[in-house]
Structure 1
Amino acid sequence: MSSTGTPHRDAARTPPRYSAASRRLHWLMAVLVVLAYILITSRSWFERGSDPRLFVVQGHFWVGIAVFALVLPRLLARFANPTPAIVPPLAPLTHLASRITHVALYAFLLLQPAMGMLVVFLERGGIPLGGLMLPSPFELNPHLAHRIEDLHITVGTAFYYVIALHVAAALWHHFARRDNVLKRMI
């Protein structure tokens, strides 16, 4: 509804929720991102060089690869279907903040796994695939790998806060503003 009490123009022309593919990919990727964080933060529970530590670090890497592999299908599903209108509509500044946060989230979903792969390529010379090795297109460069890994950690830490903001905003929309933002993704 608009401020005059009539239905919002855009709401009448768009579906009430994101497409099923967009919703599934959103929640799958959310679970994978949480899993990646759990795996990498749990590595300190295990002794360096131990099998359990290797398992959680490699698990973190492969979950990151899965996130990276799902970004393009998620973007395609997102842009192939109309975006459901937010009812009631957002104020322009709130809408801008939402856009910026979403661009940051998508950048994170692309850049974090890419940086992780780059670290492995530069440090290890390739990505192990069972008994095979996907060779690195780059020369070994442990110094650069370490610098990229530091950036990967810094960006990952910053995104704890962006993700928390995203979750808090969804809850604020649902419980305080009482609009349909969260309902569009469920």
Structure 2
Amino acid sequence: MNAMVRPRYAPALRRLHWLMALLLLVTYVLIEQRGLFPRGSAGRAAMMQGHFWGGIALFVLAWWRLASRKRNGAPPITPPLGWFSATVAKTVHVLLYAFFIVMPVLGIMTAWSDDKQVLVPFTSIALPALLPADKALAHSLEDLHGAIGTAFYWVIGLHILAALWHHRIRRDDTLKRML
């Protein structure tokens, strides 16, 4: 008996993809717009906490998505990609998943080493710090976190442009598999 080939990703993976895309957008907007509020203000703290917890949510969802992807696999692209395109696609996806895992870890390490409280959302309960306060380490981690975040504007842009290129120019089903 022939196994039926799925033309699209599993519904759970499609929902996770678009939920993570929206959450990533919100998380970036929160950090980019924190400057609307003065340092030390409640508004700025709320923006930072929203950014932080958006990152933590992305971290959790990334692991869920990886498990779902492993369980369900990916539908084949029709027509199939050549070696170079397939390698680039795989590399970009690995970078995206690495980003979703590494960035929240760097963020929480930055907060802890900067001796900042990380509050549970909608409470005044602080998570216990697992790193000692170290301003030099905090500064280095914050710089790294920011540099990776900036670099990822490019990776995310490449991901979006590639999806549009596949849909409009190559005319394969890459984008349709995720819709």
Under TM normalisation by the shorter chain, which class is it?
A: over 0.9
- The one-letter amino acid of 2:132's match is E
Residues of 2 paired with 1:125 and 1:160: CA distance? 27
Q: How many residue pairs get matched?
A: 175
1:30 aligned to 21, 38, 61, which one?
Answer: 21
1:164 aligned to 132, 146, 157, which one?
Answer: 157
- Quote the offset at 1:14 in angstroms: 2.6
Residues of 2 paired with 1:36 and 1:137: CA distance? 24
More strand by share: 1
Residues of 2 paired with 1:14 and 1:120: CA distance? 46
Residues of 2 paired with 1:73 and 1:82: CA distance? 13
1:141 aligned to 131, 134, 158, which one?
Answer: 134
TM alignment of 1:7-156, pairs within 5 A? 13-124=4-115, 126-129=117-120, 130-156=123-149
Residue pair 2:49, 2:119 contacting (<8 A) in 1 also: no
Residue pair 1:14, 1:83 contacting (<8 A) in 2 also: no
For residues 74 and 150 of structure 1, do their structure 2 counterparts lie closer, same or farther at Cα, with a shift above 3 Å needed? same
Question: What SS class does the counterpart of residue 126 from structure 2 fall into?
Answer: strand
RMSD: 1.3
Residue pair 2:115, 2:132 contacting (<8 A) in 1 also: no
What TM-score results when the alignment is normalised by the length of structure 2? Answer: 0.93
Residues of 2 paired with 1:57 and 1:133: CA distance? 14
Residues of 2 paired with 1:122 and 1:13: CA distance? 52
Question: What SS class does the counterpart of residue 132 from structure 2 fall into?
Answer: coil
Residues of 2 paired with 1:163 and 1:100: CA distance? 13
- Quote the offset at 1:94 in angstroms: 0.6
Question: For each residue in 1:77-131, what CA deviation from the matched residue of structure 2 results, as whole angstroms up to 9, or x when unmatched?
Answer: 1110131010001111011010111101111011111100111121126522223
Question: For each residue in 1:154-182, what CA deviation from the matched residue of structure 2 results, as whole angstroms up to 9, or x when unmatched?
Answer: 00000000000000000000111110000
> Which residue in 2 is equivalent to 1:180?
173
Question: For each residue in 1:53-84, what CA deviation from the matched residue of structure 2 results, as whole angstroms up to 9, or x when unmatched?
Answer: 11111111111111011111100111101310
Structure with larger Rg? 1
Residue pair 1:15, 1:82 contacting (<8 A) in 2 also: no
Residue pair 1:123, 1:140 contacting (<8 A) in 2 also: yes
> Which residue in 2 is equivalent to 1:8?
none
Residues of 2 paired with 1:13 and 1:22: CA distance? 18
Aligned sequence identity (%): 46
Residue pair 1:119, 1:149 contacting (<8 A) in 2 also: yes
Runs of 5+ unmatched residues, structure 2: none
Residues of 2 paired with 1:32 and 1:62: CA distance? 10
